[in-house]
Amino acid sequence: MRFQKTTEYAIRVMVYLAERADERFSVNALHKALNIPYKYLGRLMNQLAQKGLVTVAQGKFGGYTVEKKSLASTYLYQIVDAVEGLEDYDRCILGFLKCSDEHPCALHHLWLGIRKQIKDMLYSTTLADLVQTEHKTNGAH
């Protein structure tokens, strides 16, 4: 299972901003730092701003930011929901419309446990957690 490309980009942007909390970045600066297509990134940043996950300031010294105080209260599920929604995490893994405990597909019972683990991770992981993990990983190299 993979995130959609938009979700991958959103998480990358949010972690980048979280690591540099309280600094402002233009779409161009984010584009250069993260190698995300410029127009795509502009639309993505607007989505994140509309959902309140980033703040935006207009003008010469404007840009996007994430406040330090929000890192521990911004969960991964909020980022996923902002850009792709959470409906896919409740759908049949094989794409059947009528897949349930009563009428399971071939993978239904195997998928239930994995789906629960994924949802648990989305609902329990904050931006603060991701920043700490990133620092531990980078510090080990």
Fold observed for domain 5-139: Arc Repressor Mutant, subunit A (1.10.10)
53-78 pLDDT tens trace = 999 988 877 899 998 889 999 999 99
pLDDT tens readout for residues 91-120: 888 989 888 889 999 999 999 999 999 999
Q: What is the pTM (predicted TM-score) of this model?
A: 0.85
Q: What confidence category does residue 141 fall into, taking pLDDT thresholds of 50, 70 and 90?
A: very low
**Sequence-separated (6 or more) residues with CB below 8 Å from residue 80:** 3, 7, 10, 86, 122
Q: Where are the domains of the chain?
A: 5-139
CA distances from 138 to 72, 131, 133 (A): 20, 10, 9
